[in-house]
């Protein structure tokens, strides 16, 4: 290939594509996502995919036409398959000036990041690092996130595309590629034209370490609590001031500590306060509500409503409101209706020499919304982990396995479609 998956990843990681909660009414929420989108269109055309384009909302689409008419599989009817990854990185940690660090032949132990020695990738917190001895590992320099979520997925899809273009003997049906904006703020499929995407099944390449496959996500809502107080000069505030910051702190203090991201795992739900804004006169708190059982979201909302009700009694001069917003729903039930999309992914991983396993995603992907809209879309690993943090890391050896898995997957679809 003209560029290795590592070379592609490094070039993509250096482009700041953070999405923005504060500008979530626009798509993309940050114009810088076009910088990566335009580069990808250029690279797709360079490898011979002439219909590559980016639209006004920053969705990149491209087609690798079927080559079955030139192989022994001429006449085999293979459904159109899509591969997706997202352009943006998390707004929670800086993506400005990402400076990837390459550790060749990793020899084990903790990894101290060079620009901030207080940021350490600890083996005790990352036991899978012990399986990466001898690998090439990529990290940030400790001042930003790395961006493997989801630029590793983009690099894998681009590398697959180039490999198929330069190996016409590998049989495959029509493949559609899509890179989406604003996935990290829940808007990845907001303006995705499904008729134009035109696939029967799809796969997001947005997962964790090798072998991990995902057919379950949280069901998710967002809650916003708004507190209206009353501001006045603190020197004459007695009996008049209503400090919304104190009220907000009281609400946060009452959130159940055993239903938080830092105290839960597996299928356990959580309430996660993640953005606080405001002053004395008005404050807002945004929270993520997550539960694998969709009815569980109503239970989490009732917990918040009870907290607000109790706090209102303490601060009767305040105004406190809760607004909830739909985000996505668990894709499990719909995916189980389409076993072929799961079985073929499983087989592709086995052919790559990796032992696959199912793991629920304690988060979401564009695949959750696509599955809900009628395109079954499970999730494939990328080789990275510790996403949304300065301790994010990527195994290049595992990224290469992701590419291998994608190449195997398109062939499995051909073979399984043969009558």
This prediction has a pTM of 0.90
Pair 107, 250 in one domain: no
**Residue 123, pLDDT above cutoff 80:** yes
Pair 334, 324 in one domain: no
**What would the mean pLDDT of 380-389 be, rounded to a whole number?**
96
Pair 197, 251 in one domain: no
Cα 104 to Cα 108, 135, 215: the distances in Å are 11, 7, 33
Supply the mean pLDDT for the chain. Answer: 96
Q: Which pLDDT belongs to residue 1?
A: 59
Domain end point (choices 270, 297, 328): 328
Edge-to-edge strand list for the sheet holding 379-380: 53-54, 60-64, 175-180, 81-86, 201-205, 379-380, 212-214, 357-358
CATH of the domain at 188: 3.40.630.10
Total H helices, total E strands in the chain:
10, 18
Pair 278, 133 in one domain: no
Pair 86, 186 in one domain: yes
pLDDT digits (tens, 9 = 90+) for 245-301: 999 999 999 999 999 999 999 999 999 999 999 999 999 999 999 999 999 999 999
Question: Domain range for residue 342?
Answer: 5-217+330-417
Q: Which pLDDT belongs to residue 364?
A: 86
What is the tally of structural domains in the chain?
A: 2
**Residue 25, pLDDT above cutoff 90:** no
**Residue 98, pLDDT above cutoff 80:** yes
Strand partners, 384: 394
Residue of 88, 221, 392, 404 marked catalytic: 88
As given in the structure block, the two tokens for residue 372 are: 């809900």
pLDDT digits (tens, 9 = 90+) for 128-179: 999 999 999 999 999 999 999 999 999 999 999 999 999 999 999 999 999 9
CB 82 within 8 A of CB 199: yes
CB 364 within 8 A of CB 173: no
Q: Can you tell me the distance from the alpha carbon of 405 to that of 211, in angstroms, rounded to the nearest whole number?
A: 10
pLDDT digits (tens, 9 = 90+) for 49-73: 999 999 999 999 999 999 999 999 9
- Asked about 310 being catalytic, the answer comes back as no
User: Can the peptide bond before residue 28 be classed as cis, meaning omega within 30 degrees of 0?
Assistant: yes
Pair 277, 382 in one domain: no
- Asked about 265 being catalytic, the answer comes back as no
**Residue 419, pLDDT above cutoff 80:** no
Pair 361, 404 in one domain: yes
Q: Which pLDDT belongs to residue 58?
A: 98
As given in the structure block, the two tokens for residue 249 are: 């702190």
CB 58 within 8 A of CB 181: yes
Pair 323, 348 in one domain: no
Q: Which pLDDT belongs to residue 363?
A: 86
Considering only the C-alpha atoms of the chain, give the largest distance between any 2 of them, rounded to a whole number of Å: 86
Q: Can you tell me the distance from the alpha carbon of 49 to that of 17, in angstroms, rounded to the nearest whole number?
A: 24
Pair 112, 50 in one domain: yes
CATH of the domain at 269: 3.30.70.360
Pair 155, 103 in one domain: yes
Nearest to 108 by CA among 139, 78, 137: 137
Strands annotated E in 4-100: 53-54, 60-64, 81-86
Pair 54, 175 in one domain: yes
Pair 62, 108 in one domain: yes
To the nearest 10°, report the CA torsion of 361, 143, 42, 66: -20
Domain end point (choices 282, 298, 328): 328
Domain end point (choices 295, 328, 361): 328
Residue of 149, 162, 182, 183 marked catalytic: 183
SS3 59: coil
**Length of the chain as a residue count:** 419
CB-based contacts of 209: which residues, under 8 Å, 6+ apart?
A: 128, 381, 383, 384, 385, 395, 398
Q: Which pLDDT belongs to residue 215?
A: 97
């Amino acid at each position: 290939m003209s560029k290795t998956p590592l070379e592609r990843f490094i070039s993509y990681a250096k482009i700041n594509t953070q999405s923005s909660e504060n500008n979530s009414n626009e798509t993309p929420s940050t114009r810088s996502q076009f910088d990566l989108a335009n580069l990808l269109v250029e690279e797709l055309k360079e490898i011979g995919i002439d219909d590559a384009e980016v639209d006004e909302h920053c969705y990149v689409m491209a087609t690798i036409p079927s080559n079955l008419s030139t192989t022994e599989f001429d006449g085999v009817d293979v459904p159109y398959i899509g591969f997706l990854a997202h352009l943006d990185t998390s707004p929670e940690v800086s993506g400005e000036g990402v400076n990837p660090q390459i550790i060749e032949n990793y020899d084990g132990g903790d990894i101290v990041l060079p620009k901030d020695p207080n940021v350490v990738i600890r083996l005790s917190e990352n036991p899978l690092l012990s399986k990466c001895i001898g690998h090439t590992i990529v990290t940030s320099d400790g001042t930003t996130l790395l961006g493997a979520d989801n630029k590793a997925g983009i690099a894998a899809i681009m590398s697959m595309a180039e490999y198929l273009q330069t190996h016409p003997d590998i049989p495959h049906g029509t493949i559609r590629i899509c890179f989406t904006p604003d996935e990290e703020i829940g808007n990845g499929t907001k303006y995705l034209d499904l008729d134009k995407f035109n696939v029967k099944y799809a796969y997001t390449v947005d997962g964790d370490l090798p072998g991990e496959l995902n057919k379950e996500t949280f069901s998710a809502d967002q809650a916003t609590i708004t507190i209206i107080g009353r501001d006045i000069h603190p020197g004459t505030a007695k009996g008049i001031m209503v400090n919304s910051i104190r009220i907000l702190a009281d609400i946060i203090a009452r959130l159940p500590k055993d239903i938080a991201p830092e105290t839960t795992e597996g299928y356990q739900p959580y309430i996660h306060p993640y953005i606080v804004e405001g002053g004395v006169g008005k404050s807002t708190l945004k929270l993520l509500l997550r539960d694998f059982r969709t009815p569980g979201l109503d239970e989490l909302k009732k917990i918040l409503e009870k907290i607000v009700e109790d706090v209102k009694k303490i601060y009767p001069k305040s105004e406190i409101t809760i607004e909830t917003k739909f985000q996505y729903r668990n894709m499990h039930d719909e995916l189980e209706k389409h076993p072929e999309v799961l079985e073929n992914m499983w087989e592709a991983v086995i052919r790559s020499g990796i032992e696959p396993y199912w793991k629920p995603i304690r988060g979401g992907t564009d695949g959750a919304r696509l599955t809900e809209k009628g395109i079954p879309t499970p999730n494939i690993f990328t080789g990275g982990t510790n996403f949304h943090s300065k301790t994010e890391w990527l195994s290049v050896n595992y990224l290469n396995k992701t590419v291998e898995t994608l190449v195997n997957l398109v062939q499995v679809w051909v073979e399984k479609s043969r009558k």
